[in-house]
């Protein structure tokens, strides 16, 4: 039997998305573009105090389901990778990652 190796495409970080002490992502309806967009809120503290920096995906979706699928497929893996890299770079700190929805 012959083994087939498959290359797993590494998810690239979405343009403009930066790491933070605390990040939360999801989707939101934006009346300015009359559609749903993926968003990420980024705080510079672990307690989510203050106004977060908001990153928005440039893609606009007509349905909530399509926007959530885009978030789960492209944005969330990038966030997970970013947070894992931050945790590896800070061995003395505490790292907590929670997935809030399935």
| Boundaries of every domain in the chain | 22-89
Q: Is the pTM here over 0.85, yes or no?
A: no
Element (H, E) at 39: strand 35-43
Residue 83 confidence (pLDDT): 78
pLDDT digits 0-9 by tens, 2-60? 544 444 344 456 776 777 778 889 999 999 999 999 999 988 888 889 999 999 999 99
**Three-state secondary structure readout of 42-64:** EECCCCCCCCCEEEECCCCECCH
Contacts of 16 (CB under 8 A, 6+ apart): 55
Predicted pLDDT at 23: 85
**22-89: CATH architecture:** 2-Layer Sandwich (3.30)
Question: Residues 6 or more apart from 79 whose CB is under 8 A from it?
Answer: 17, 23, 25, 40
User: Tell me: the pLDDT tens digits for 67-100?
Assistant: 999 999 999 998 888 877 776 765 444 555 556 5
């Amino acid at each position: 039997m012959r083994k087939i190796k498959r290359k797993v495409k590494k998810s690239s970080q979405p343009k403009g998305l930066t790491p933070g002490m605390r990040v939360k992502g999801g989707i939101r309806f934006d009346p300015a573009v009359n559609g749903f967009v993926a968003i990420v809120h980024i705080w510079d503290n672990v307690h989510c105090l203050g106004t977060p920096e908001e990153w928005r995906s440039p893609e606009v979706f007509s349905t909530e389901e399509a926007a959530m699928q885009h978030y789960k497929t492209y944005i969330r893996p990038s966030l997970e990778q970013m947070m894992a890299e931050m945790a590896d770079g800070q061995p003395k700190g505490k790292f907590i990652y929670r997935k809030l929805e399935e």
